[in-house]
Amino acid sequence: MAITPIETRIDTRRLGLLTRLGVLLAVVALAWLAALWLGASGDRVDFAARLSPPDAHHWFGTDVMGRDLLARTLEGLGLSLRIGLLAAALGTLVALGLAVVSTLNRMADIGVGLLTDMTLGLPHLVLLMLVAFALGGGPQGVVLAIALTHWPRLTRVLRAELLQLLNADYLRVSRRFGKSRGFVIRTHVLPHLAPQCLVGFLLMFPHAILHEAALTFLGFGLSPGQPALGVMLAESLRYLSAGHWWLGVFPGAALLAMVLTFDRLGSAARGLFVPRETMP
């Protein structure tokens, strides 16, 4: 009977996290749908309504070419989501690959360790700009630059997890029960790594989006023609001093909201799938 309260406590905690995860995912899905639905109308130019402040017709106002800022912001969010998804997925793959390599032998471990330290030691943004520039900018430049600079933290986590796992008594025991290597990897190793990868991926997402915007803002990322949030923020700089505040505030706020949403999403997922690390 002393067990009951413990189980209910854990269940309500999990339930709360699940709810939060669901709500956040719904928010992201909604943003995506809105981007698909409204996004295209953000390209419609209307010089009669240029630089009009937010009103009932244009909730976020319009930009210098009279394009609806709400539609453009949503389109930018959609683009950021796609780029973030791709970059974070690639980054997670790189991290997983390097983590597996580092457990193969001692030399490989030292090599991966050096590479990790080197990448972490360099200023993030400088490295991002270098890679993006070297790859010629554009969407693939941004995606690769982010994927190639965001793996070290996750690599360390996964490497530690793998090492601990490979030395675990229960793996040895399983093998001694006559279980095959495949069975052990499938039932003991992967279920431990998969949540770590998913959480790492979700936590990498906001960084990817933020850095995509930063790169684009600085002119090393997406081309000015694309409706990216970074492009809109860079454009808004010229008009902010003239009092056209909505050009910067709304895209900026949207970016912030999305980054925060994904940060929360990652934290909730971590609490759900890797509870050991979030226990008080």
Partner 1 sequence: MLEAHDLQFTHAARPPLLSRLSLRIEAGEVVGLYGDSGSGKTTLGRLLAGELRPQAGQVTLDGNDLPKQGLHPVQRLSQAPEHAVNPRWRIGRILHEAWTPPDAMLEAFGIGRDWHSRFPHELSGGELQRVNVVRALAPGIRYLIADEISAMLDTLTQAELWRALLGETERRGLGLLIISHDTDLLARLAQRCYRLEDGSLTRSPVSLSSGTSSPA
> Any residues with CB less than 8 A from the CB of 275 and at least 6 apart, and which?
none
Stretch that binds partner 1, among 37-45, 128-136, 185-193, 231-239 (CB under 8 A): 185-193
Q: Which of residues 14-43 bind partner 1 (CB under 8 A)?
A: none
- Minimum CB distance to partner 1, residue 178 (Å): 4
User: Shortest distance, CB of residue 202 to partner 1, whole angstroms?
Assistant: 19
Among 177, 182, 241, 280, binds partner 1 (CB under 8 A): 177
Which among 1-9, 15-23, 134-142, 218-226 is the span making contact with partner 1, rule CB under 8 A?
Answer: 1-9
| Amino acid type, 233 | L
Rounded CA-CA distance 174/183 in Å is 9
User: By rule CB under 8 A, what string of x and - marks binding of each residue 45-84 to partner 1?
Assistant: ----------------------------------------
Pull the structure tokens for residue 184. Answer: 């052990």
Contact 204, 154 (CB under 8 A): yes
Contacting residue, 119, 192, 219, 249, with partner 1 by CB under 8 A: 192
CB atoms within 10 A of CB 266: 20
Count Cβ atoms within 10 A of the Cβ of residue 228 and give its class: 0-12 exposed, 13-18 middle, 19 or more buried: buried
Q: Does 170 bind partner 1 (CB under 8 A)?
A: yes
* Separation CA 100–CA 135 (nearest Å): 27
Q: Which residues bind partner 1 (CB under 8 A)?
A: 3, 6-7, 168-170, 172-174, 176-179, 188, 191-192, 276
